[in-house]
C-alpha cells in the first residue's frame, strides 16, 4: 500500500479576501487562507459556517463575489471546475452508479493525462493498489461497503494526478470506529504522495488528529489558523476555545496589570469570586475571558478553601453536581459561585460533595475577545 | 481542444435557445396569429369581431347583456331574482362552463372514493391499480368516445343487454349525461391520483400527536388530514375544469353540434371556412383558459412546499375474511368497485365486443373486413386504415425526434434554478392552456396556407405541421418526467465529474442522462402516446389530405353509415387503436412514467 507513485505535482493554494453571498445572505466574509505545498490543511467549524463553501470556491463550483483564488500561483477565478486540476471527494462519495469501480477511477483520465507516461489501465491498477482495492475493478459501487466506496472515491480523485486534493467531510457517513481507521489511511496516503490536501470536517477531534494545520471557521470568518497543538492549547478566540475540545470559560476583569491579576466572576457590587494571576493582561478594568482546560483542573476531596499560592497554583472551593463515567476518566461537573466548572479525573471512584479544584497559572489562557 | 471546450460550453444555452426558437415557430407564432386575427379587420386594429361575439346571445347567452347594456345588468338580476330564478340562456360559452362544472363535480364524486381506498387500504393489486390511473392520459379521447357509444349508444352493449331481458332501448347518445360521464372517465383518475398522493404524504405522527392530545378520530381527520387533502382536491378540480372546458373529441362525438362546446363550435366554423369568427372564438376561449391555468399555477405553487417526508398512515386490509361482508365501509367499497368497473372497463370492453358483434348480437368479422375493403379501395377520398396506422406511427416517431430533445433541454434548465427555470416553467404550462384546435388553426393559417417571415414565403406540408403540433403538445410530458428525476439526482455526481475534467455538457451526457435514462424513456413513451392519440389539431391539419391519423380515421368512420346505423367500422378501428396505445401504456408503466401535473 505504501508504494510511492510517479511524480505528483504539489501546489499551494491561496485565498485572498474571498466573499460569497447566497441570495444576499453572506456565506463567507473576507476569508484569506494560505495553504502550503504538500500540506494537510483542515477547515473545521460547525455546520453552516462556510467551510464547504470555501472548498467549493477552491474547486470552482462557487464563484466568489470578491477576492482571489490561486492554485500553484495561478489565478483560477473564472476558470470552470473542469479547467482546475483539483481532485475532490465528497461525504457520500458520489461514485457514478452506472459505472464499475474501474470505470469510475478511469473517468478523470478521459480528460486528463495521468502523470508519468502510463496507460489508463496501468494508472487505474496503480491507484487501486494504493488504496488497497486491487482486484476490485469489476465490482459495482453498490456492492462495496461505505469504507470501500470511500477508498474508490479517493482513488478516482487522485487518478489524474491533481494539484490539490479536496476532501469534503469524507468520513462523516461512516461509523465511529471505521472513521478513526480511515483517517489514518488518508493521512498516510497524503504523506506518501506529498499532495497538497484541504480537508473539511465538523469534527474538531478529527481535525486535530489528522492535520498539519487547522483553520477554525465560524459564521463565514476565519477564527484562527495554526497547528493543532496551538489551536488546542492557545485558542485565540472564545469561539475556538469553546468549539475545540472541552473547556471552562470564565468572565472577569483586569484588576491590576503589575502584578497581572484578573478578578473572576465579577458581581454587581464590584467584588470578585476570586482573583487569579493571568500572564499578559493589561488595561485595568478591561473585561476579559479566560479559559482553563478541564484536564488541567485537578480535583480533590476536602474543604481547603480558596487560595492562590506563591507559585501561582490556584485552588477553588466547589461542589460536585454530577460525574459522568467515560470509561477511562470521569467528567466531573462542579458548581462554583453559581456557575459550572468541568474537571476530569482518572480516580477509581467519582468525587462527590465539596471538593477542591486546583490549576496552575500556566494553564490559564487569556482569550482575545471578551 | 480549446474549440471543443468552447462548443461544449455553448451547447446547452444554444440548445435552450433552439428549443425557444422552435416553440416560437411551431407554437407561439401560430397561436399568436390566431389571437391577433381576432383584433384585426382589413389590416387595421379593431375590437369589432370580439364585440360581435360577446354581444351575440348565441355565444354568451344571458351574459351578452354585460356587453350590450352593462348598466342595466343589476336591474336585470333583480328582476330575475324577483321572478323566482327562471332558467336563463347560457349561450355557447355558458354551456361550455356549465358542462365543465358538471364534469368536475362528477369527476370528484367518482375519483374521491378511489383516493380514499388507494391511500388507506392494502390489497392485492393496489400498486397496479394506482399505476392504472395514468391510463386515461394515454387513451385517445376519440377512441374513448367511440367506446362510450359502443356501450351506451342506441345499438350499444347496454341496449343489447336490456334487449335480452326485454327492456329498453334507452337513448343516451347526444345527451349531456353521457358527455359528463365520459369526462369523468378522463378526470376522475386525476382526482384519485392527486388526492391519494396528498393523503399518503400525511405523516402518521401528526395524526397520532393529535389523537394523543385528545382529538377524536374525526377531529384528527378534520384538523390534520383534511387540510392536507383540500389543496390537492382543489388543484385536481381546477385542472379538471380546464381540461373539460377545452374538451373536444368527446363532445364532438357524443354531443355533436346540438351540445357543442366552444371548442366544437370553433371546429365547425373552421369547417365552414369562417376562419375569422373561429379565430375570435379561439381568442376568447384561450383568454379564459389562460386565466384558469394561471389560477391553478398560483395555487399549486403555494401548496407545493406542503408535502413532507414522514411515515404515511398505516393501511388497513381491504378484505378481512367473512367479516368483510359485515363491514358497511367495505360493502360500500365493493359497490364503488362495481361502478368503477362499469365506467372504466365497460366502454373499452364494449369497444372490443361491438367490433365483432352485429346489432342483433351475433358474431361477425364484417367490420374488420370493411377495414380491409377500405384498404383495397381505389376510390379517391377513401379513408384507408393502413395509411392511418403508418401516418400515426411516423408522426409519433417525428414527435419523439422533436419533443424528447426539447423536453430534456427544458428539464435541464428548469432544474438549474434561477431566471431560466422560471421561464422554463412558463414555457411548460402554455401548451396546457391552449387547446389543440387553436394550435391547429394557427398552423393552418400560417405555415400550411403559407406565410411571409422576414421577407421569405414559407409553406410547410400538412404532415410537418402535424408533427409540430404534436411536439408542442408532447414535450411537456418529457420534461415532467425528466425534471423530477434530474432534480432528485445528487448534484455531487455532476460536481465530481466536472472536477475530474468533464465540461457541463459532458457531465450531462456521460453522467446525468444515463442515470435518469428510465425517466427519459418514460417521457418519450408518453410523448409517443400523446402523438398517437392527438386529435384536436390533427383533425384540422389533416383535413382534405391523406395525412390522416388513426384517431382522425376513427372519427371519419364514426360518421360512416355504409354498414347500417351502427358503429361497427369505428369500433374495429378503435380496437386497433386501443391495441397500439395499450402497448405505449405498457412501455410507460415498465419505465415508471409519471404524470403529476
* Of the partner residues B493, B499, B502, the one whose CB lies closest to the CB of residue A86: B499
* Residue B562 in this model has a pLDDT that exceeds 60: no
> Residue B588 above 70 pLDDT?
no
* pLDDT band at residue B379 using 50, 70 and 90 as cut-offs: low
CB contact at 8 A, B281 and B115: no
- Written as one string, the DSSP assignment of B181-214 is HHHHHHHHHHHHHHHHHHHHTSBHHHHHHHHHTT
- CB-based contacts of B52-58 (< 8 A; 24+ apart in sequence): B52/B280, B53/B277, B53/B280, B53/B281, B53/B284, B54/B284, B56/B91, B57/B89, B57/B91, B58/B91, B58/B92
Q: Which chain A residue shows the shortest CA-CA distance from B1?
A: A111
Stretch among B90-104, B184-198, B349-363, B476-490 having the lowest mean pLDDT: B349-363
Whether A10 shows a pLDDT value over 70: the answer reads no
A2 band by pLDDT with thresholds 50, 70 and 90? very low
pLDDT at A56: 93
Alpha-carbon span B208 to B203, nearest angstrom: 9
- Give the one of A87, A92, A97 whose C-beta lies nearest to B499's C-beta: A87
Find residue A75's DSSP bridge partners. Answer: A70
CATH architecture of the region B97-354:
Orthogonal Bundle (1.10)
Tell which B residues from 7 to 46 touch A, by Cβ distance under 8 Å: 9
* Residue A4 pLDDT exceeds 50: no
Q: DSSP letters of A272-327?
A: -SEEEE-TT--STT-EEEEEE-GGG-EEEES----EE-TT-EEEEEEEEEEEEE-S
Backbone angles phi, psi at A182, to 5 degrees: -70, -30
User: Nearest-CA residue of chain A relative to B505?
Assistant: A82
Contacts of B551 (CB under 8 A, 6+ apart): B140, B142, B143, B249, B392, B532, B533, B534, B535, B538, B539, B577
Nearest to B571, CA basis, from B383, B374, B368: B368
Q: Which residues of A touch B504 (CB under 8 A)?
A: 80
| B490, B496, B503 ranked by CB distance to A88: nearest | B496
Closest CA to A179 of A201, A196, A195: A201
pLDDT, mean of residues B361-389: 74
Judged by a CB distance cut-off of 8 A, whether residue A344 touches chain B is no
Fold designation for B1-37+366-597: MetI-like fold (1.10.3720)
Query: Cβ of A97 under 8 Å from any chain B Cβ?
Result: yes
B514–A110 CB contact, under 8 Å: no
**Mode of pairing for the β-strands spanning B121-122 and A40-44:** unpaired
**Residue to test with chain A: of B6, B485, B500, most A Cβ within 10 A:** B500
Span B355-375, average pLDDT: 74
- The CATH class of A13-240 is alpha beta
Contacts of B502 in chain A (CB under 8 A): 82, 107, 110-111
> SS3 for B56?
coil
Check CB contact under 8 Å for B496 and A82: no
Q: What is the pLDDT of residue A116?
A: 79
The C-alpha of B502 sits at a distance from chain A's nearest C-alpha, in angstroms, of 6
Mean pLDDT on B89-112: 87
Q: Which residues of B touch A59 (CB under 8 A)?
A: 495, 499
pLDDT tens digits along B176-186: 888 898 899 88
The fraction of chain A above a pLDDT of 90, given in percent, is 49
Smallest Cβ–Cβ distance between B500 and the set A90, A108, A166 belongs to: A108
Decide if pLDDT at A9 tops 50: no
Q: What is the mean pLDDT of residues B25-34?
A: 84
pLDDT at A114 over 80: yes
Q: Which chain B residue shows the shortest CA-CA distance from A167?
A: B496
Percent of chain B beyond pLDDT 90? 5
**Strand partners of residue B6:** none
The beta-strand segments (E) located in B461-586 are: none
User: What pLDDT does B251 receive?
Assistant: 85
What number is the average pLDDT over the span A51-75?
A: 91
B230 backbone dihedrals φ, ψ, rounded to 5°: -55, -45
Residues from chain B contacting residue A152 (CB–CB below 8 Å) = none
| Chain A interface includes B525 (CB < 8 A) | no
Residue of A94, A98, A108 lying closest to B501 (CB–CB): A108
Q: What mean pLDDT do residues B68-86 have?
A: 78
Per-residue pLDDT, A86? 92
- Asked whether the CA dihedral B517, B523, B528, B529 is positive or negative, the reply is positive
Encode pLDDT of A267-319 as tens digits.
777 777 778 888 878 888 888 888 999 999 999 887 777 777 777 788 888 99
> DSSP letters of B525-548?
HHHHHHHHH--HHHHHHTTTSS--
Rounded mean pLDDT of B73-89? 78
pLDDT at residue number B151: 83
Could you tell me the residue ranges of all domains in chain B? Answer: 1-37+366-597, 43-89, 97-354
| Helix (H) / strand (E) containing A205 | helix A204-210
Q: Predicted ipTM?
A: 0.83
- Beta partners for A314? A308, A359
pLDDT tens for B282-312 read 888 888 888 887 777 777 666 654 444 556 7
> CA-to-CA distance for B56 and A15, rounded, in angstroms?
73
SS3 content of chain A, % helix, strand, coil (to 5): 25, 35, 40
pLDDT at B497: 94
* SS3 label, residue B347: helix
Other Cβ atoms within 10 Å of B341 Cβ, number: 11
Of B5, B490, B501, the CB nearest to A92: B490
CA distance A123 to A116: 9
Counting residues of chain A whose pLDDT is more than 70, the rounded percentage is 96
Where in chain A do CATH 3.40.50.300 domains reside? Answer: 13-240
Is residue A332 helix, strand or coil?
strand
* B482-521 residues touching A, CB cutoff 8 A: 490, 492-493, 495-504, 506, 511, 514-515
> What is the pLDDT averaged over residues B113-141?
83
Tell me whether residues A98 and B515 touch, CB distance under 8 A: yes
Q: How far is the CA of A91 from the CAs of A88, A147, A151, A306, in angstroms?
A: 10, 11, 12, 50
CB pairs under 8 A between A and B: 66
Set of cell numbers at residue B177: 349525461
Measured distance CA(A207)–CA(A194) in Å, rounded: 18
Which of B2, B13, B417, B499 has the highest number of chain A CBs within 10 A, making it the mutation to test binding with A? B499
**CB within 8 Å of B33: residues ≥ 6 apart:** B442, B445, B446, B451
Count of C-beta atoms within a 10 Å radius of residue B545? 12
Q: How many CB atoms lie within 10 A of CB B198?
A: 23
- CA B585: distance to chain centroid? 15
Rounded to whole angstroms, the Cα distance separating B305 from B399 reads 34
pLDDT tens, position by position, A152-210: 999 999 999 999 999 999 888 888 888 888 899 899 999 998 999 999 999 999 999 99
Smallest CA–CA separation between A206 and chain B, in Å? 23
Distance CA A9, CA A3 (A): 17
- Smallest Cα–Cα separation from B8: which of B511, B504, B510? B504
Asked if A59 lies within 8 A of B499 by C-beta distance, the reply is yes
How is residue A271 annotated by DSSP?
Answer: -
CB contact under 8 A, B496 and A84: no
* pLDDT higher than threshold 60 for residue B1: no
Q: Are B1-37+366-597 and B97-354 in the same CATH fold? A: yes
Nearest to A96 among B5, B493, B498 (CB): B493
Distance, in Å, from the CA atom of A161 to the CA atom of A183, rounded to the nearest integer, reads 21
Residues A203-222 have a mean pLDDT of: 93
- Kindly tell me if the per-residue pLDDT of A68 is higher than 80: yes
Confidence of residue A263 (pLDDT cuts 50, 70, 90): confident
**Which chain A residues contact residue B5 at CB under 8 A?**
83
Q: Give mean pLDDT, residues B502-516.
A: 90
A94 Cβ under 8 Å from any chain B Cβ: yes
Domain A246-367 fold is OB fold (Dihydrolipoamide Acetyltransferase, E2P) (2.40.50)
C-alpha cell at B92: 355557447
Q: What is the mean pLDDT of chain B?
A: 80
Gap between the Cα atoms of B426 and B27, Å rounded: 13
The pLDDT value recorded for residue A209 is 92
B365-369, B371-375, B436-440: range with highest mean pLDDT = B436-440
Which residues, 6+ apart, have CB-to-CB distance to A282 below 8 Å? A254, A257, A260
Q: Which residues of B touch A84 (CB under 8 A)?
A: 499
Query: CA B408 to CA B479: how far, in whole Å?
Result: 6
**A34 CB contacts (<8 Å, ≥6 apart)?**
A12, A13, A14, A15
> Does A68 contact chain B (CB < 8 Å)?
no
Q: Tell the residue number behind the cell numbers 488595561, with chain if given.
A: A283
Query: Is the pTM value of this prediction over 0.95?
Result: no
Nearest residue of B to residue A82, measured between CA atoms: B501
Polymer length in residues for chain B: 597
Amino acid at each position: 500500500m505504501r508504494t510511492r507513485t510517479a511524480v505528483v505535482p504539489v501546489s499551494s493554494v491561496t485565498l485572498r479576501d474571498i466573499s460569497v453571498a447566497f441570495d444576499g445572505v453572506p456565506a463567507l466574509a473576507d476569508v484569506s487562507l494560505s495553504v502550503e505545498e504538500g500540506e494537510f490543511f483542515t477547515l473545521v467549524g460547525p455546520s453552516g459556517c462556510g467551510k464547504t463553501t470555501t472548498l467549493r470556491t477552491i474547486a470552482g463550483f462557487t464563484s466568489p463575489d470578491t477576492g482571489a483564488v490561486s492554485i500553484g500561483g495561478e489565478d483560477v477565478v473564472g476558470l470552470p471546475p473542469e479547467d482546475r486540476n483539483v481532485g475532490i471527494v465528497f461525504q457520500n462519495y458520489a461514485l457514478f452508479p452506472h459505472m464499475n469501480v474501474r470505470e469510475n477511477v478511469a473517468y478523470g483520465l478521459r480528460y486528463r493525462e495521468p502523470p508519468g507516461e502510463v496507460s489508463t489501465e496501468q494508472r487505474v491498477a496503480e491507484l487501486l493498489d494504493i488504496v488497497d482495492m486491487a482486484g476490485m475493478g469489476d465490482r459495482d459501487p453498490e456492492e462495496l461497503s461505505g469504507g470501500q466506496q470511500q477508498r474508490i472515491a479517493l482513488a478516482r480523485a487522485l487518478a489524474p494526478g491533481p494539484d490539490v486534493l479536496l476532501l469534503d467531510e469524507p468520513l462523516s457517513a461512516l461509523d465511529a470506529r471505521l472513521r478513526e481507521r480511515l483517517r489514518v489511511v488518508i493521512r498516510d496516503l497524503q504523506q506518501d504522495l506529498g499532495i497538497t490536501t484541504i480537508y473539511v470536517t465538523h469534527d474538531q477531534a478529527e481535525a486535530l488528529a489528522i492535520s498539519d494545520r487547522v483553520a477554525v471557521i465560524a459564521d463565514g470568518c476565519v477564527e484562527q489558523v495554526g497547528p493543532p497543538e496551538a489551536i488546542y492549547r492557545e485558542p485565540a478566540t472564545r469561539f475556538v476555545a469553546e468549539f475545540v475540545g472541552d473547556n471552562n470559560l470564565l468572565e472577569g476583569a483586569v484588576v491590576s496589570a503589575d502584578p497581572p491579576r484578573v478578578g473572576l466572576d465579577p458581581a454587581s457590587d464590584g467584588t470578585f469570586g476570586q482573583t487569579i494571576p493571568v500572564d499578559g493582561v493589561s488595561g485595568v478594568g478591561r473585561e476579559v475571558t479566560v479559559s482553563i482546560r478541564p484536564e488541567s483542573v485537578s480535583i480533590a476531596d476536602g474543604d481547603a478553601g480558596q487560595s492562590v499560592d506563591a507559585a501561582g497554583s490556584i485552588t477553588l472551593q466547589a461542589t460536585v453536581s454530577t460525574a459522568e463515567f467515560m470509561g477511562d476518566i470521569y467528567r466531573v461537573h462542579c458548581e462554583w459561585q453559581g456557575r459550572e466548572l468541568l474537571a476530569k479525573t482518572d480516580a477509581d471512584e467519582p468525587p462527590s460533595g465539596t471538593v477542591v479544584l486546583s490549576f496552575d497559572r500556566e494553564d490559564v489562557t487569556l482569550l482575545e475577545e471578551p | 481542444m480549446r474549440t471543443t471546450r468552447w462548443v461544449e460550453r455553448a451547447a446547452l444555452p444554444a440548445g435552450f435557445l433552439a428549443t425557444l426558437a422552435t416553440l416560437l415557430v411551431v407554437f407561439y407564432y401560430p397561436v399568436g396569429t390566431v389571437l391577433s386575427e381576432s383584433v384585426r379587420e382589413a389590416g387595421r386594429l379593431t375590437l369589432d369581431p370580439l364585440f360581435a361575439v360577446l354581444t351575440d346571445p348565441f355565444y354568451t347567452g344571458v351574459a351578452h347583456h354585460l356587453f350590450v347594456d352593462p348598466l342595466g345588468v343589476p336591474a336585470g338580476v333583480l328582476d330575475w331574482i324577483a321572478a323566482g330564478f327562471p332558467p336563463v340562456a347560457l349561450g355557447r360559452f355558458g354551456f361550455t362552463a356549465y358542462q365543465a362544472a358538471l364534469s368536475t363535480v362528477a369527476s370528484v364524486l367518482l375519483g374521491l372514493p378511489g383516493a380514499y381506498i388507494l391511500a388507506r387500504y392494502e390489497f392485492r393489486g393496489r400498486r397496479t391499480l394506482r399505476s392504472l390511473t395514468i391510463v386515461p392520459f394515454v387513451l385517445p379521447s376519440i377512441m374513448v368516445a367511440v367506446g362510450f357509444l359502443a356501450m351506451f349508444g342506441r345499438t350499444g352493449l347496454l341496449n343489447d343487454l336490456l334487449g335480452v331481458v326485454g327492456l329498453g332501448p334507452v337513448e343516451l347518445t347526444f345527451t349531456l349525461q353521457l358527455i359528463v360521464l365520459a369526462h369523468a372517465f378522463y378526470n376522475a383518475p386525476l382526482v384519485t391520483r392527486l388526492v391519494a398522493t396528498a393523503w399518503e404524504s400525511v405523516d402518521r405522527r401528526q395524526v397520532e400527536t393529535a389523537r394523543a392530545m385528545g382529538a377524536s378520530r374525526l377531529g384528527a381527520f378534520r384538523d390534520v388530514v383534511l387540510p392536507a387533502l383540500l389543496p390537492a382536491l382543489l388543484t385536481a378540480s381546477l385542472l379538471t375544469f380546464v381540461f373539460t372546458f377545452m374538451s373536444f373529441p368527446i363532445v364532438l362525438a357524443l354531443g355533436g353540434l346540438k351540445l357543442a362546446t366552444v371548442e366544437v363550435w370553433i371546429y365547425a366554423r373552421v369547417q365552414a371556412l369562417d376562419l375569422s369568427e373561429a379565430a375570435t372564438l379561439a381568442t376568447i376561449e384561450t383568454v379564459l383558459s389562460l386565466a384558469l391555468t394561471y389560477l391553478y399555477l398560483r395555487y399549486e405553487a403555494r401548496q407545493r412546499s406542503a408535502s413532507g417526508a414522514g411515515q404515511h398512515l398505516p393501511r388497513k386490509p381491504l378484505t378481512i375474511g367473512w367479516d368483510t361482508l359485515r363491514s358497511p365501509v367495505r360493502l360500500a367499497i365493493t359497490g364503488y368497485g362495481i361502478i368503477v368497473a362499469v365506467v372504466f372497463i365497460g366502454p373499452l370492453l364494449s369497444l372490443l365486443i361491438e367490433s365483432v358483434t352485429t346489432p342483433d348480437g351475433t358474431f361477425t368479422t364484417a367490420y374488420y373486413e370493411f377495414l380491409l375493403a377500405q384498404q383495397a379501395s381505389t376510390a379517391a377520398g377513401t379513408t384507408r386504415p393502413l395509411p392511418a396506422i403508418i401516418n400515426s406511427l411516423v408522426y409519433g416517431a417525428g414527435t419523439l425526434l422533436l419533443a424528447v430533445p426539447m423536453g430534456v433541454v427544458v428539464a435541464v434548465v428548469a432544474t438549474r434554478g434561477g431566471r431560466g427555470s422560471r421561464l422554463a416553467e412558463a414555457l411548460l404550462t402554455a401548451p396546457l392552456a391552449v387547446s389543440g384546435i387553436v394550435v391547429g388553426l394557427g398552423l393552418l393559417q400560417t405555415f400550411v396556407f403559407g406565410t411571409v417571415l422576414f421577407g421569405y414565403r414559407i409553406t410547410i406540408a400538412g404532415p410537418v405541421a402535424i408533427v409540430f403540433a404534436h411536439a408542442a403538445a408532447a414535450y411537456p410530458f418529457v420534461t415532467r418526467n425528466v425534471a423530477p428525476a434530474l432534480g432528485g439526482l445528487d448534484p455531487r455526481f455532476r460536481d465530481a465529474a466536472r472536477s475530474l475534467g468533464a465540461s457541463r455538457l459532458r457531465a450531462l451526457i456521460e453522467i446525468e442522462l444515463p442515470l435518469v435514462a428510465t425517466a427519459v424513456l418514460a417521457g418519450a413513451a408518453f410523448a409517443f402516446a400523446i402523438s398517437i392519440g392527438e386529435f384536436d389539431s390533427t383533425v384540422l391539419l389533416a383535413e382534405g389530405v391523406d395525412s390522416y391519423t388513426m384517431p382522425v380515421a376513427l372519427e371519419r368512420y364514426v360518421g360512416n353509415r355504409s354498414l347500417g346505423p351502427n358503429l361497427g367500422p369505428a369500433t374495429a378501428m378503435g380496437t386497433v387503436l386501443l391495441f397500439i396505445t395499450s402497448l405505449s401504456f405498457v412501455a410507460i408503466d415498465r419505465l415508471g412514467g409519471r404524470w403529476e401535473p
